[in-house]
Amino acid sequence: MIVKIDKLSHDFKGITRIDDKVTFVSDTIPGEVIDIKIINEKKKINEGKVIGYIETSDDRISEVCPYSDKCGGCDIAYMKYSKQIQYKKEIVCDIMKKYAGISVNPQIIFDNNIYGYRNKITLRVFDGKLSLIENGSNILVNIDKCLLVNNNINKIINLINEMDLTGVNEVIIKGTKEIMVIVSGDLDSDKLIDKLKLDVDSIILNDKVIYGNDYIIISIGNFNYAISPKSFFQINTNMIDKLYDKIHDYAGIGNSLLDLYCGAGTIGIYLADNFEMVRGIEINEDAVNSANLNKKINGIKNISFECKNVNQISKIDVDVVVVDPPRGGLDKITINKLLDGNCKKIVYVSCNPITLARDIKLLKDKYNFEDITLFDMFPNTKHVECVTVLHRKSFE
Ligand SMILES: C[S@@+](CC[C@H](N)C(=O)[O-])C[C@H]1O[C@@H](n2cnc3c(N)ncnc32)[C@H](O)[C@@H]1O
């Protein structure tokens, strides 16, 4: 049937109404007229699939990636970048209004390198070649390169593809100047080292370091950060200093800072010059080891790290808390600790505006929402990073 797309959903799906029933259609832009078929019919919503485009939007562009119609990596690369930015902002405004009851008009910070920005890729093996997973399915798509990752990573993809990969389950390649390769499965370690040693700094095979160190260094601003195989690191290298500068700015100056979900300690270290004392909490042991190494590498004296679940911390009594949780946001226990503790300011860093808005609604009981800035850490994908600052009501 022929429909016109009215607007976008929070996850960039086009929305149209058929017999007053909301119908979501991927790969569409508001204003486009399309021929669709219904592929999933539920009580309140339908999901449609594009069969043909009848009137396309001026905001539609041809995709440059040869795997664009199969791989799920760049899910909105069909849209002009200026439009991606505009819609991301509109979506966050809508989410904040709907789930937190707050009207916002945030600045969105971005970088013009909308390809080649990623410092990490996770690949599977299919038919003896490295592969990505097809969008919305379990089908693997063989690739020779990925336009989202940097050139050094693409070079390694090509080298590994020259090997016999039968028996390999997963390959993770990460880094910018220094590169780490993490392989799981059956592969001859000598052959792997011979193939990669001129181009990589670290090779891990089935959790064992077989070449170089158990970490690589990524430099951001004045800091050098050690990244271990399992520790989290922001994936858009060009945007990290912009993001951390804003967190630095929002956090301000104080006596004590608590960096919750601190990963490899990167934010706490970046902010340590403005505080007497910084404490980082992180559940992943590998990441805490990297955080302690980062403390040493960067000569930071006033920071300490603890490996535990954030919700196990004792009473919060600090000037500023930075929280940077995974997509699921904060759990109830952590929210209650923030509400019951003494903390003048919370800087909330989030890659999921929906859980961010949900948590802000709960925190609003004791904190005033002050500001939000968006960072396009993930061009050509539907994701966006948000940084917000909240001030304790009783401290105003
Ligand atoms: C989005 S990352 C942020 C890392 C770091 N702030 C950065 O900028 O690189 C979230 C981190 O939270 C950690 N994490 C997840 N659940 C946790 C929990 N319940 N308690 C402590 N850390 C947790 C993850 O291991 C991960 O390192």
Q: What are the pLDDT digits (tens) for 154-174?
A: 999 999 999 999 999 999 999
pLDDT at 324 over 70: yes
Task: Tell me the catalytic residues.
Answer: 351, 385
Does residue 270 have its Cβ closer than 6 Å to ligand 1?
no
d(CA 325, CA 44): 32
Q: pLDDT tens for residues 290-301?
A: 999 999 999 999
3-state secondary structure of 17: strand
Q: What is the CATH number of the domain that holds 36?
A: 2.40.50.140
Same structural domain for residues 210 and 171? yes
Per the structure, the count of domains in the chain is 3
Give the closest residue (by CA) to ligand 1 atom 12: 261
Which residue minimizes the CA distance to atom 1 of ligand 1? 326
CA of 266 to the centre of ligand 1 (A): 11
3-class DSSP assignment, residue 156: helix
Residue 135 sits in the same domain as residue 161: yes
Ligand 1 close to Cβ of residue 244 (< 6 A): no
| Closest-lying ligand 1 atom to the alpha carbon of residue 310 | 20
Q: Are 186 and 318 in a shared domain?
A: no
Task: Give the SS3 label for residue 129.
Answer: strand
Cα distance between residue 46 and residue 346, in whole Å: 40
What's the gap in Å between 187 CA and the centre of ligand 1?
31
Q: Residue with the nearest Cα to atom 9 of ligand 1?
A: 233
Task: Please give the full DSSP string across 176-196, using - where no structure is assigned.
Answer: SSSEEEEEEES--HHHHHHHH
- Average pLDDT value for the chain: 95
* 244 and 184 belong to one structural domain: no
Is 312 close to ligand 1, i.e. is its CB under 6 Å away?
no
Domain end among 171, 189, 217: 217
Structure tokens belonging to residue 121: 């890729």
| Residues 134 and 95 reside in one and the same domain | no
Judged against a pLDDT cut of 70, whether residue 396 lies above it is answered with: no
Q: Quick one: pLDDT at residue 395?
A: 52
Residues in a beta bridge with 8:
14
Report pLDDT for 19.
Answer: 87
* Percent of the chain residues topping a pLDDT of 90: 91
Among protein residues, the one whose CA lies closest to atom 19 of ligand 1? 309
pLDDT for 70 equals: 82
Tens of pLDDT, residue by residue over 47-83, are 999 999 999 999 999 988 989 888 878 989 999 999 9
Residues 108, 241, single domain; the answer is yes
Confidence class for position 206, pLDDT limits 50, 70, 90: very high
> What tens digit of pLDDT does each residue of 121-136 get?
999 999 999 999 876 6
Assess whether 250 and 277 both reside in one domain. Answer: yes
**Structural domain contains residue 94:** yes
DSSP secondary structure, 248-297, as one string: HHHH-SEEEEEEET-TTTHHHHHHGGGEEEEEEEES-HHHHHHHHHHHHH
- Same domain as 248, residue 103: yes
| Å from CA of 334 to ligand 1 middle | 13
Cβ of 284 less than 6 Å from ligand 1: yes
User: Residue 311: inside a domain, yes or no?
Assistant: yes
Q: Find out whether the beta carbon of 73 lies less than 6 Å from any atom of ligand 1.
A: no
Q: How many whole angstroms separate alpha carbon 173 and alpha carbon 175?
A: 7
Cα–ligand 1 centroid distance for 231 (angstroms): 9
Mean pLDDT, range 263-268, rounded to an integer: 97
Q: Is the CB of 227 under 6 A from ligand 1?
A: no
Q: Specify the residue for token string 């903390």.
A: 343
Q: What is the pLDDT of residue 38?
A: 94
Q: Which domain holds residue 156?
A: 120-217
Helix pair 151-161, 189-196: axis angle to 10 deg: 140
CA distance 394 to 185: 56
Q: What is the pLDDT of residues 347-395, one digit of tens each?
A: 999 999 999 999 999 999 999 999 999 999 999 999 999 999 999 997 5
For residue 231, which atom of ligand 1 is closest to its CA?
A: 27
Instruction: Give pTM, 2 decimals.
Output: 0.95
Nearest CA residue ID for atom 26, ligand 1? 263
d(CA 326, CA 356): 11
Ligand 1 mean position, distance from CA 36 (Å): 41
